[in-house]
Amino acid sequence: MEKSVTVRAPVNIAVIKYWGKSDENQIFPINSSLSATLNMDQLCTTTTIASSPKFTQDSIVLNGKPDNIQSKRLQNCLSTIKSLALKHQTVPQSFISQKILITTSNNFPTAAGLASSASGFAALTFALAKLYNLDVNSKTTDLSQIARIGSGSACRSLSGGFVQWHKPNASLGVVSNATQVFEHTHWPELIILICIVNDKQKETSSTVGMRRSTDTSDLIVLRDLVTQKRIERITRAIKEKDLPAFAEVTMKDSNQFHAVCLDSYPPIKYMNETSWEVIKMVHKYNDSKNAVKVGYTFDAGPNAVLFLERKDFPDFLKCLLWFFPENNNNNKVAKEKTVYVQGGEKQLVEQVRKEQLQEVKMEGMKRQEGVLRSILVTSLGRGPEEVLVSQDGKGSKL
Amino acid sequence: MEKSVTVRAPVNIAVIKYWGKSDENQIFPINSSLSATLNMDQLCTTTTIASSPKFTQDSIVLNGKPDNIQSKRLQNCLSTIKSLALKHQTVPQSFISQKILITTSNNFPTAAGLASSASGFAALTFALAKLYNLDVNSKTTDLSQIARIGSGSACRSLSGGFVQWHKPNASLGVVSNATQVFEHTHWPELIILICIVNDKQKETSSTVGMRRSTDTSDLIVLRDLVTQKRIERITRAIKEKDLPAFAEVTMKDSNQFHAVCLDSYPPIKYMNETSWEVIKMVHKYNDSKNAVKVGYTFDAGPNAVLFLERKDFPDFLKCLLWFFPENNNNNKVAKEKTVYVQGGEKQLVEQVRKEQLQEVKMEGMKRQEGVLRSILVTSLGRGPEEVLVSQDGKGSKL
């Protein structure tokens, strides 16, 4: 029996950060976390899994290149899904024995420094579940727990909107799943900007960094308590669409995560001077408006993710483009190919870009050309979905 | 009655950091701290105080410029010393009523970004005590407590060697003084390098930064407990002249202090990319030797202070000079005036500088010319002392 499914899964960005495992094999986090699922129109992983009696071995092709099918994390996901299919007899046993070919790619360059393992393992898990006819909405088949053993934060990419990943709770047994807190349609005014920093420094991988922090940081012991309170606070802020409260908790939690990294030994540093310039600019912008209009968060890398509401977007974008203009040293050919501000809100962006840039004065801020590679405009989005594959190889929603 | 005294007082650098006050007026610290007093041959404040019936008002001249004698902190120190003199009748009452002229200067440029308030208030307190004949060695006249109300960490500059500043202890009453833990002669092999970073960014003042951390950081609550353990550990390491243990605790505590700054809201950043390059280089150097040979600490600014033993100094200096060479873009005149490596250990330094620089290979490290302004070689030193003033206005020890 030949069968092929194609799915796409979103990237998520934590506003209450996950950092540190209480169990390395199970990937149990030491604290619960909360994330925003990003719109797949801008960022997603597309994964096709084909099963055929003709295949003589399992294989995987990642962004056009053969990859390691024996990876422990991948095999964990695959065997868990297969046992579920066997248990619930959702497909014939012979189909489960057939070899598969996994083809996966991101619609964003890996070089952009955006974590792709979350969307990657979410797509893999979702595609496998579809391939083997598992009920993806059933509570007994909690896909988030399967994605989690692939890559911790992947569990948060299995739902849209705002998603909470729960740390294991002794009273509920050894369960650590992710659940949707609000749908993506709850806060349509929320705009998410990803400022991609021009920097190619080699970074400490999350896995290595987390282990080091868990082993050496004194301050990490407070994270569980602090994040519990912050998840309550930010859930209320999201419910009320209270951007100032949402942004403030988001900024504080990003800073605390990086503080824990710095408290590790040897210290871990993910933000660079450009990241700090964005932080400074956001605080100065908020000060100038006498209100928190924009919040930032940084993952295990220098890229800034900013949250703001549509009504403030044109004004803030002008300010961002003033202080972080694109590099004009590009030759003309390259310039025409580059779109500095990419993604959604095209009309608003075009309007702002047509205007002459106005000088913005902020104490201590200097214009820095070319320190950002691009600015990606996106929003909240839905969870993974099955897609049709068109002739050009690109997926479109079923 | 005319009288004049001249004293000099040292700079100190904390290895277990002070950050945050439990009482802003009394300058009570939220945790105890421990510092190394630096050799005054390289860094000191010299203060002359003259008292004369001819003076019509109190005045102060700081580095050749009139300064504010009414500063609250200065007046606090002055009035406390005067009341002690009055109480113990150490000088005639009429002498206490006479006006004074304070002349104070540092033997290091303020632009070097080295905290001068500690040595400044230590010198002021010590000079006032000498002027009014107080017994500077008496327990009832604890000068460290008087310097403390001028500038917290100044209390640690009133002794030589290693000094502990004790947080107030409820069972001992409201006392927060500094006491010597080891004399400077205890560890003569210890070399201290101050790497002065070329950077003129305006920084958050310690007073403002501490207040912000105390008000907004969740993680700061752990500092008291952590520093208690670290003071015990580092005291043992100093006693045993165990450089690896000493350096490791020093590095961890520096990192944790900066982590607390980052956990403040808005976040506070004192280290820059050059600071981080030094951190990286020190860890890579230690890794290459399979032992902790060098430790770093950073105060509220980007300058690195490094600790190592004399036996490792030439090898480490070669490495430091390889990765952080002086700026060769200086014109010749300027170059002749500049001494890139300043301070003590002149013979060893000369020997290293005479050799052709050897390439040092460390993964991920690049040579960066001119990011350091200079490297100051110093050591542990004694506490404040009265000095004679020679014709050239420079003090020499009595």
B212 to chain A, minimum CA–CA distance in Å?
13
Asked if B218 and A260 come within 8 Å (Cβ–Cβ), the reply is: no
Tell me whether residues A262 and B259 touch, CB distance under 8 A.
yes
Tell which of A253, A256, A269 to mutate to test the B interface (max B CBs under 10 Å). A256
Q: What is the ipTM of this complex?
A: 0.91
B363, burial (CB in 10 Å: exposed 0-12, middle 13-18, buried 19+): exposed
Cβ-based neighbours of A285, under 8 Å, separated by 6 or more? A293, A294, A316, A319, A362
Query: For the residues A143-155, what does the mean pLDDT come to?
Result: 93
Contact yes or no for A273 and B273 at CB 8 A:
yes
The secondary structure of A39-60 as a DSSP string is: PTTTSEEEEEEEEETT-SS-EE
- Contacting residues of B for A263, CB less than 8 Å apart: 219, 255-256, 259
Give the mean model confidence (pLDDT) for residues B201-212: 87
Query: Is there a shared CATH topology between the A3-186 domain and the A190-379 domain?
Result: no
Measured between beta carbons, which residues in chain B are less than 8 angstroms from residue A255? 262-265, 267
**Residue B389 scores a pLDDT above 90:** no
> Who among A222, A258, A273 is closest to B262 (CB)?
A258
Band of residue A123 on the pLDDT scale cut at 50, 70, 90: very high
Is the N-terminal amide bond of B266 cis, ω within 30° of 0?
Answer: yes
Residue A161 has pLDDT above 90, yes or no: yes
Closest-CA distance of chain B to residue A227, Å: 11
Q: Which residue of B has its CA nearest to A284?
A: B266
Q: What's A380's DSSP letter?
A: B
* Cβ contact, residue pair B279, A266, below 8 Å: yes
Mean pLDDT lowest among B25-39, B180-194, B356-370: B356-370
Contact A314, A348 (CB under 8 A): yes
pLDDT over 90 for what percent of chain B?
76
Return the structure tokens found at B361: 């290979």
Task: For an interface test with B, give the residue of A201, A216, A255 to mutate (most B CBs within 10 A).
Answer: A255
Q: With CB atoms and an 8 Å threshold, state whether B219 touches A251.
A: no
Tens of pLDDT, residue by residue over A29-84, are 999 999 999 999 999 999 999 999 999 999 999 988 999 999 999 999 999 999 99
Question: Residue A255 and residue B268: Cα distance in Å, rounded?
Answer: 10
Residues of A with Cβ-Cβ distance to B265 under 8 angstroms = 248, 251-252, 255
pLDDT over 60 at B334, yes or no: no
> In A, which residues are within 8 Å of B258 by CB distance?
262
Q: What percent of chain B has pLDDT over 70?
A: 92
**How many angstroms separate the CA of residue A229 from the nearest CA in chain B?**
12
Q: How far apart are CA B227 and CA B217, in angstroms?
A: 16
Q: What fold, for B190-379?
A: Alpha-Beta Plaits (3.30.70)
Mean pLDDT in chain B? 91
Chain B residues whose CB is inside 8 A of the A266 CB are: 251, 279, 283
Q: Provide the token pair at A126.
A: 């979702």
Decide if pLDDT at A113 tops 90.
Answer: no
Q: Which of B199, B263, B365 to mutate to test the interface with A (most CBs of A within 10 A)?
A: B263
- Range with the poorest average pLDDT among B49-53, B275-279, B355-359: B355-359
Nearest CA in chain A to B292: A266
Per residue in B131-153, pLDDT (tens digit) is 999 988 777 678 999 999 999 99
Strand B372-379 and strand B341-343: pairing?
A: parallel
Q: What is the CATH number of domain B3-187+391-395?
A: 3.30.230.10
- Kindly state the average pLDDT of the residues B177-196: 96
Tell me whether residues B364 and A202 touch, CB distance under 8 A: yes
Q: Are B259 and A219 a contacting pair at CB < 8 A?
A: yes
Task: Please tell me the predicted confidence (pLDDT) of residue A336.
Answer: 45
Give pLDDT, residue B112.
Answer: 59
**Cβ contacts of A229-238, under 8 Å, gap ≥ 24:** A230/A16, A231/A16, A231/A32, A231/A33, A231/A34, A231/A164, A234/A15, A234/A16, A234/A34, A235/A34, A235/A162, A235/A164, A235/A181, A238/A162, A238/A181, A238/A182, A238/A186, A238/A187
How distant is the Cα of B344 from the closest Cα of chain A, in angstroms? 30
Which are the contacts of A186, defined by CB distance < 8 A and separation ≥ 6?
A: A161, A162, A238, A241, A380
Q: What is the pLDDT of residue A112?
A: 59
User: What are the residue boundaries of the structural domains of chain B, listed by start?
Assistant: 3-187+391-395, 190-379
Q: Chain A to chain B, count of Cβ pairs less than 8 Å apart?
A: 63
Option in B263, B273, B279 nearest A255 (CB): B263
A315-337 confidence digits (pLDDT tens): 999 999 999 998 876 544 444 44
Question: Looking at beta carbons, which pairs linking A308-312 to residues 24 or more positions away fall under 8 Å?
Answer: A308/A190, A308/A191, A308/A193, A308/A243, A308/A247, A309/A189, A309/A190, A309/A191, A309/A243, A310/A189, A310/A190, A310/A191, A310/A345, A310/A348, A311/A189
Backbone angles phi, psi at B241, to 5 degrees: 45, 50
Look at residue A342 in the predicted model and tell me its pLDDT: 87
Residues of B in contact with A269 (CB under 8 A): 276
The per-residue pLDDT for A357 is: 82
Mean residue pLDDT across chain A: 91
C-alpha R_g of chain A: 21
Question: Mean per-residue pLDDT for B240-246?
Answer: 98
Nearest to B222 by CA among B251, B248, B259: B259
Beta-strand ranges (E) seen in chain A are: 3-10, 12-16, 21-23, 28-29, 33-37, 44-52, 59-62, 65-67, 99-106, 162-165, 178-182, 190-197, 294-298, 304-309, 341-343, 372-379, 385-389, 395-397
State how far the Cα of B66 lies from the Cα of B49, in Å rounded to an integer. 14
CATH placement of domain A3-186 = 3.30.230.10
Closest residue in A to B270 (Cα–Cα): A276
Provide the pLDDT confidence category of residue A393 given band limits of 50, 70 and 90.
low
- Closest residue by Cα to residue B59 from B99, B29, B31: B99
Report the pLDDT averaged over residues A262-288: 96
Q: What is the dihedral of CA B204, B205, B211, B214, to 10 degrees?
A: 70
Closest residue in B to A254 (Cα–Cα): B263
